[in-house]
A and B are shown apart, each in its own frame.
Chain A
Amino acid sequence: MTSRYPAPNGLPPAQGLYDPRYEHDACGMGFVASLRGEKSHAILTLGLEILINLTHRGACGSDPDTGDGAGITIQIPHTFFARECPLSGFSLPQPGEYAVGMVFLPVDSHPRLQCEGILERIAREEGLIVLGWRDTPVDETAIGRIARGSQPYIEQVFLARPASVDQDAFERRLYIVRKRAENEIAASEIDGKDLFYIPSLSSRTIVYKGLLIAPQVAKFYPELADPDVTTALCLVHQRFSTNTFPSWQLAHPFRYVAHNGEINTLRGNASWMHARQSILASPLFGDDLKKLFPIIQAGSSDSAAFDNALELLVQSGRSLPHAMAMLIPEAWTGNPHMKPEKRAFYEYHASLMEPWDGPAAIAFTDGRLIGATLDRNGLRPGRYMITEDDLVVLASEAGVLDVPPERVKRKGRLQPGKMFVVDTVAGRIVTDKEIKASLASRQPYAEWLEKNQISIGNLPEPTRFHAGDNSTLLRRQRAFGYTDEDLQMILEPMANKGEEPIGSMGTDTPLACLSDRPQLLFSYFRQLFAQVTNPPIDPIREEMVMSLTSYIGVERNILDETPLNCHTLKLPQPVLTNRELEKLRRLSYGDLLATTLSTGFRVKEGEDGLRRSLDEICRRASLAVKNGYTLIILSDRGLDEQYAPIPSLLALAAVHNTLIREETRTTVALIVESGEPREVMHFALLIGYGASAINPYLALETLEDRATSGYLADGITPELATRNFIKAIDKALLKTFSKMGISTLQSYRGAQCFEAIGLSRQLVDEYFTATVSRIEGVGLGVIAREASMRHEFAFRTPRDHEDELASGGAYHYRVDGEYHLLNPQTIRKLQHAVRSSDAKTFQEYTDLIDSQNRELCTLRGLLQIKSVAKPVPVEEVEPAKEIVRRFATGAMSFGSISKEAHETLAIAMNRIGGRSNTGEGGEDESRFQRDSSGDLRRSSVKQVASARFGVTTNYLVNADELQIKMAQGAKPGEGGQLPGHKVDEVIARLRHSTPGVGLISPPPHHDIYSIEDLAQLIYDLKNVNPQARISVKLVAEVGVGTVAAGVAKAHADVVLISGDSGGTGASPLSSIKHAGIPWELGLAEAQQTLLLNDLRSRIRVQTDGKLQTGRDVIIAALLGAEEFGFATTPLIAMGCVMMRKCHLNTCSVGIATQDPVLRARFQGQPEHVVNFFFFLAEQVRQHIAQMGFRTFDEMVGRTDMLDARIAADHWKASGLDLSSILYTPPLPGRVARRCVKSQDHGLDDALDHFLLDRTREALERQLPVELGPLPIRNVHRTVGAMLSGEIARRYGSKGLPDDRIRVHFQGSAGQSFGAFLASGVTLTLEGDANDYTGKGLSGGRIIIHPPRISPLIPEENIIVGNVVLYGATSGEAFFSGIAGERFAVRNSGATAVVEGLGDHGCEYMTNGTVIVLGACGRNFAAGMSGGIAYVYDEYNDFTRERCNLASVDLDPLESEDEELLRRLISKHMVLTGSSRARWILQHWAEVLPRFVKVFPHEFKRVLKKPQPTSLPILVTPAAVSAEVQHG
């Protein structure tokens, strides 16, 4: 397997399933600058200090001394260079008249000289004067072994500015020189050319970076210690990458930016940038522009690519803030309160180019300006302060510099979509408001839009448009492969409710490339999704950042700024009705002109015909572009007996790729008019491969027919059905984007966020360029054959005694439908076997499954286990009771399944020494003790999922394993919702919520937006419960290997790779079917990547996803797993019959229901589950013996014991090639294939050891203890958690009596201050704290106030970071100052007082009380379903602009509210000394009316109407699925 992308220096080439394209990184970044622009060496020293204090945000790999990269950008230290250069034989002109290039070169002298020579020649060709080279002194002993091994030779080149050009023009020439040198050397045959890299080449700034950890930067570059090295600004960056491969170039900063986060839309952005190269023009560059191509350097990281794009925009004349606002616009579509001029600015630029979307905090500098911006979601932290002496410090964390509190003038944070800029020349801070105002007034954007942009609604009505044709409807439905299920399970629910259909219990049907039935081409693709390295978004609760708006039209030169640039057609959403399509077809406005290309092929001619037609369509598309058409409609209307439709995705992708190759793609919009698309995956794929809009005429016509023939719900007219369908698709599209962490359709378009499974490389290269497809597979021949099968069926006369459409059977089993592994025979055999303890019947069951595997259902079915000539006698193999300890049951919450089912699993697993999993939903503490019968109902794995339901300190300490669920196989990238009717008293108690009130699990963990955040959560959990191992659950997708490597580097003990097919209580059908990939691929990729990084030895690997037989376990073990999870199969053993009704609460066998009537029908016994696992273990032993092993461990990772069976006789599978799955990197024997050592969690340095030591009296004898004041720094993380764990271990959830332990701190606390703080502990902090303060608060009290000596006004300055009190379950917090974004997110019981907060406050809150005494950000109370918040609405804008009213009422205060408020505000004043609180209390009568009570609807309803103890069991299905919609 070769990748089309060259690997950046240091990364291994693609091999097996590993591909360097999927490397991720995230990090800590910051800057320090003198506001007055005063250069000093002190600034540099401070910068380096910031860097060192961010060390914990970086990571190191298998070599502890080799980091992932660190670096700094400073202004050119002229004094120093002027002193040094004469030693190298040349002297320097004045500052600004020369440039310095930092150059990484090959180590060997000959190639090095060649590179230098090329650079010099190019510089001269561009009219520059080469002054000389300076050997940059470096200290190799300062860095790690691995870093040393890959270290380039580092020199500085000095180029003089010709007198004829000004400094900006000089910079442009330097840019050309650099790009030319990069291109020429990359294309050369020079040895070691991969090492050649130019970190910076500028007359203003210089970058010092390398494969370093923070403290090494200054040591490695000794000149940084020279007092003559002075600068007025210093940008720093510490990197955390998922891999351990040495790469010097990937360190930040780049030429302009240092980035913390990830660009999710990179592939689309890069491809659009490439596509628009042909129309780029700049008077500043003239013909030289072409020398800069490719703008985006191939193989670069997302951050580097972003830097490339930014550089182009800046060098061609836009200001740095302008370019930043263009690339990373704030969310404007969903913000009605934005100023019209600013809106116009963004809208104008939206028609120029798509946003670069993803979580990003980007610090930037051009040597004069230094600043930072945050993406629209604000998912990365950025804290700044300004000191008395005009020093500005910004970093990922507060407290990175130890500045005495009295010298701090102001503290603030980066806000979503906002920019913060320091102008070191003007000597002032430029606020976001000022920047945006000045940008907005650059041009009359609003006027330009008014004149040039049109909306589809304003187009003239077409005189005619396609009406439905009932006489051919059935024929066309057949031709496009419609099934009964498409009508009943996909289209009808969408038309009835305007929502995507929901299902449950995963999928067990063959991969499209193994199915005997003709599959739509769509089915060969899988959606990618965000996990760990970037967060998914909640498209419902955080709708304000999402947008479906897009622009159709000719893209013009983005380097230009003219009214014509926004001559576009604005589409509010991408699904077009027939009428709307006709409007476009007849469009004639300016240069908007449409043409329609027919996409049929002569069905008799098969593959050749298909290829010919595709070529012809592409040829005609090229011609249309040349002829000036700007909209191409690809239409499959009008098929007949000779012509079958080309799969719409194929036709689209062919044209899209052709035009990209011809560099004309941005001059034309592609619109798909097709009978094929009908579910959200189809639309997502079409958009992902470049469609601007889609007219799904047959789906619309089908719905019309269903409506008129009475199939739809009462009152659903054809028009309403259409509207609902479009609404459902729109909502589901947003969800699909958000799974990937993408907010806008514009950036999703063309981003190709998909992986293909079972498409041949040739097909993919030709039509789906750059899409991942790793096991080869079908080509045009099979696609043509599938089309012809459908076509043949279409043109057969429908008979009255036959079904009109194929049954489908993809969701529900049908004899004549799609194949299912779990079918009546297998389910029956398994149940009979475990109930009668009959190993023979079990063997019959596994034979059925295994032979079905062999009949091509799964990838493992294509693998064969080898045996040896002399098997070991079975008796000599490790006993079954040892093997079963490797088995775990899947994470199923009590809530998704019944108490009976949940406890049966726990008892069974505890009996055999395996592990059961709580799932997300807490656990009843009564289960922590053994029953009288000796059984333990405690789940040994406690899951920590995004909602943190019931995640208390006591819950965490009662676990052997803590599992962080990053994603779930059936619906990766999505949250969940437990509808109110499933929340009975017990569930409400365990989840710290209210009976009858629905519960939402957010899509992301709000404390994990990137890999270093995950490391932080692992650290938090390990602190609470140092004995428990920490596991991280991932879902297989391409790139999961690099994520797994990152997880290993984040010090997880176990990584779980979940397959795509796993069960679920409720999930959109599109996610069940189309997200994630089989575990075989994910596991193999993880194993290979961990081996390549030598990280496998320190992490255990578990896998799950419809594992069912001993053979399945063996294959997983040989591919690299040590442990195995099972969920569906044990459920079946307990009586599940795959009704797939979990989401409706109507499980007739009492498993997936909370209905007491149905629960009473549960017949499962622990013995059934125990039998299942022992049967399995015995089969495993047989296989182990056959392979000639004696122990399980021996076979882990032995892929050589597997054969890829060539399914030569199958019409589809014969093209598959599984060799990449069986690949093992050639590595020395010392690189272990399995886990042989434990992680170093770095707990030794925790401040809590000191606390534990000094609070012994309290812990052991409950005596009061008071400590402090103790100094605290940002490097002190998770303070209080270990102490709390110890308290919970001794005293359970009750903890110690109030205030028994009091600790005072002074300074800036690190992340997770007071996390999981237990009852009885009060932490008081004089200073400020970072993100995740009070996370999981479990009864303790946190008080934070500014130092008494600080001149800051608390309510105007930030005191705690983002995501404070996340998942708190009880306790109190008082913050005298402003908190960041997402304050009290998912709070379920804590009381908090704060003096102002950022966006998304109290999101998803289910209980507790929050009082806000100052300004609130936007989207307050989104998804809040319980608890109460009181907000002081000083400026009377809360109701209108700040609060999300979807789930809450804003009520006036009642007398008990007043009492509560007064009491808590008084307490706040006493504890923090808050002047704000004092003022409010003094003016009580006046301010009281300004308080708003935020009261969730559902909570109010339940509080007002006491719930009966048993909830009504019968629910109307409409209500149920509506509520579960968000999945």
Chain B
Amino acid sequence: MGKPTGFLEYTRELPSRRPVIERVNDWFEIYQELPQPKLQQQGARCMDCGVPFCHTGCPVNNNIPTWNDLVYRGRWREAVRRLHATNNFPEFTGRICPAPCETACVLGITEPAVTIKNIEKSIIDRAFDEGWIQPEPPDFETGKSVAIIGSGPAGLAAAQQLRRAGHTVTVYEKADRIGGLLRYGIPNFKLEKHVVDRRLDQLKAESVRFVTNAHIGVNVEVEKLRRDFDALVLAGGAEQPRDLRVSGRDLKGIHFAMDYLEQQNRRNEGLAISGEEILATRKHVVIIGGGDTGADCLGTAHRQHAKSVRQFELLPMPPEQRSPQTPWPLWPLQLRTESAHEEGGDRHWSVATTKFTGDEQGRVNRLHAVRIGPPPTFEPIAGTEFTVEADLVLLAMGFTGPVRNGLLDQLGVALDPRGNVQTDATHMSSVPGVFAAGDMRRGQSLVVWAIAEGRRTASAVHSYLSQ
């Protein structure tokens, strides 16, 4: 399989992203494509390892060497089949996954890793372009029904898997549109929504039923679901944002990142926005939190033409190279520069926000901060206090778990010490027939984990229903 000397002949090559000057003025995806021969060369870099660490580095266990080889050989049709065998939605992960597979790539020990993520995206985009992605309804109906609560990647993956196994599947979504985080959480420049829609079309054609504006435990009775369905899958995500309880937190202009990102996504689709509009245009923006959500806010703020954007992170700046504390093939502690960082803004490390102050209308205009030492104590360093202008503060400090009142309370499922839904090895919660998947079960995590969870839960539900 593959080309044994490919890694010695070709260097790692990714398509360049669209030029910053162009992309910050629109909301389209930043990606470009490599020409086919180059992609095949990148596929040839795969060493077809006896123990492919990428394969377990990847939460859905993508059979990476196999489709790398197929791409190298130009066998795209088979490649997408192999990809779909482990991943329902490679078009999502191919765009927004941080690619733990690549950090586990064996070539990565001594050389830049294989461009696994880009190859994945190329395979699936081509498959859609060629019309290879068709509905695959089941051959027969089992007569069993499953309700899935939440239409994010975990819920959708579970829905597709269960439907294809012949069960009747209904997906409930509290928002007005299907997709969860994919729909309203991730900015268009990373994931255009037609990419989500085309996949939803497939699910619909496979007869997955979708019910929107259905907030279980609020406007839909939990008991009704228990009565109407043979099994329930909780895939509601971990939507409880972590807050910053410091003085001045109640000032106007301080928002959770997700509220901000959702609005822009609605705006892009021409949908109405309820409540106060959050816009960065001509504002000094400070984003608190140095992770992916923070980067999403950063890219969004630039596109809204903010006056300035700063991003504060509690932790010290990670090393440029893999830290020795996280040796290969572990997920490396390492400085990551996202596309949004290329577009501008300042990143500040080892900074703790101490308070916000505002103007007379109660609007925030300054952020007070101090430089701090390393974890675990994060000792403030005396004399390093400073303030910055801040008209819009976005809190992107992660999530503390699922929203507990409502659905979870009413179902009476047990929670684990971290506040997530506790399950057994089969992903079944303390309530028989009620399963959990994705962030709701494991806490805030990656889209690829959500897909993996959805698939594993679906398999457990299927076994449960087949008993």
Contacts and interface: CB of A to CB of B under 8 A. Distances in A.
Interface of A: 484, 488-489, 505, 710, 797, 799-804, 807, 811-816, 820, 822-825, 827-828, 831-832, 835, 1135, 1137-1141, 1144, 1146, 1148-1150, 1157-1158, 1161, 1163, 1513-1517, 1520
B52 interface: yes
A832 B327 contact: yes
Contacts of A1150: 110
Contact of A1139 (B9, B50, B63, B84): B50
B47 A1148 contact: yes
Contact of B9 (A802, A807, A1514): A1514
Given A1141-B4, A1146-B4, A1517-B4, A824 B51 contact: yes
Contacts of A827: 51
B139 interface: yes
B85 A1515 contact: no
A799 B327 contact: no
Contact of A1146 (B47, B51, B85): B47
A428 B329 CA distance: 80
22 contacts: A488-B1, A505-B50, A800-B81, A803-B63, A803-B81, A803-B85, A804-B81, A807-B66, A812-B50, A813-B55, A816-B61, A820-B51, A828-B329, A828-B330, A1135-B109, A1137-B53, A1137-B106, A1139-B106, A1141-B49, A1161-B110, A1516-B5, A1517-B4
Interface in B81-135: 81-82, 84-85, 88, 104, 106-107, 109-111, 134
A1155 to B, nearest CB: 8
A1146 B51 CA distance: 15
A1149 B105 CA distance: 13
Interface of B: 1, 3-5, 7-9, 47-53, 55-57, 61, 63, 65-66, 75, 81-82, 84-85, 88, 104, 106-107, 109-111, 134, 136, 139, 164, 327, 329-330
A619 to B, nearest CB: 40
A1143 to B, nearest CB: 10
B47 A1141 contact: yes
Given A1138-B51, A1140-B51, A1515-B5, 14 more contacts: A710-B75, A801-B85, A803-B85, A804-B81, A812-B50, A828-B53, A1139-B47, A1139-B50, A1139-B51, A1139-B106, A1144-B5, A1146-B4, A1158-B8, A1514-B9
Nearest to A804: B81
Contacts of A1137: 49, 51, 53, 106, 109
A-B CB proximity, top 4 nearest: A1140-B50, A815-B61, A1161-B110, A1138-B51
Contacts of A835: 327
B203 to A, nearest CB: 12
A266 B295 CA distance: 76
Contacts of B5: 1144, 1146, 1514-1517
Contacts of A1515: 5
A222 to B, nearest CB: 69
Among B48, B50, B164, max chain A CB count under 10 A is at B50
Contacts of B139: 797
Contacts of A488: 1
Given A488-B1, A815-B56, A828-B329, A807 B109 contact: no
A1515 B5 CA distance: 8
Nearest to A801: B84
Contact of B49 (A1135, A1140, A1514): A1140
Contacts of A1139: 47, 49-51, 106
Contact of B63 (A814, A1146, A1148, A1149): A814
Contacts of B109: 1135, 1137, 1148-1149, 1161, 1163
B69 to A, nearest CB: 8
B47 A824 contact: no
Given A824-B56, A1148-B106, A800 B48 contact: no
Among B47, B57, B61, B65, max chain A CB count under 10 A is at B47
Contacts of A802: 85
A991 B117 CA distance: 46
A815 B106 CA distance: 16
B164 A1138 contact: no
B85 A814 contact: no
Contacts of B65: 812
A824 B104 contact: yes
Contact of B55 (A505, A815, A1148): A815
Contacts of B1: 488-489
A1163 B55 CA distance: 24
Contacts of B61: 815-816
Nearest to B55: A815
Given A813-B51, A1148-B7, A1148-B109, A824 B327 contact: no
Nearest to B132: A800
Contacts of B7: 1146, 1148
Contacts of B3: 1517
A1148 B107 contact: yes
Nearest to A822: B51
Contacts of A484: 66
Contacts of B104: 824
B102 to A, nearest CB: 14
A1430 to B, nearest CB: 41
A1132 to B, nearest CB: 10
A1524 to B, nearest CB: 12
B164 to A, nearest CB: 7
A824 B66 contact: no
Nearest to B140: A797
Contacts of A1513: 8
Among B104, B106, B330, max chain A CB count under 10 A is at B106
A713 to B, nearest CB: 11
A1135 B84 CA distance: 33
Nearest to A807: B63
Contacts of A799: 136, 164
A1496 B82 CA distance: 48
A1157 B51 contact: no
Given A815-B61, A1515-B5, A803 B82 contact: yes
B157 to A, nearest CB: 12
A505 B85 CA distance: 29
Given A801-B85, A801-B164, A1161-B110, A824 B53 contact: yes
B374 to A, nearest CB: 20
A827 B104 CA distance: 12
A813 B49 CA distance: 9
Given A1137-B106, A1141-B4, A801 B136 contact: yes
Given A799-B136, A799-B164, A1157 B55 contact: no
Given A835-B327, A1148-B106, A823 B51 contact: yes
A1352 to B, nearest CB: 59
A814 B55 contact: yes
Contacts of A1158: 8
Nearest to B49: A1139
A1138 B110 contact: no
Among A484, A803, A1148, max chain B CB count under 10 A is at A1148
Among A804, A815, A1157, max chain B CB count under 10 A is at A815
A1157 B111 CA distance: 12
Nearest to B110: A1161
Contacts of B49: 812, 1137-1141
A1246 B48 CA distance: 56
Contacts of B330: 828
Nearest to A1517: B4
Contacts of A831: 327
B84 to A, nearest CB: 4
A578 B139 CA distance: 35
Contacts of A800: 81, 84, 134, 136
A710 B77 CA distance: 13
B82 A812 contact: no
B136 A811 contact: no
A1034 B104 CA distance: 38
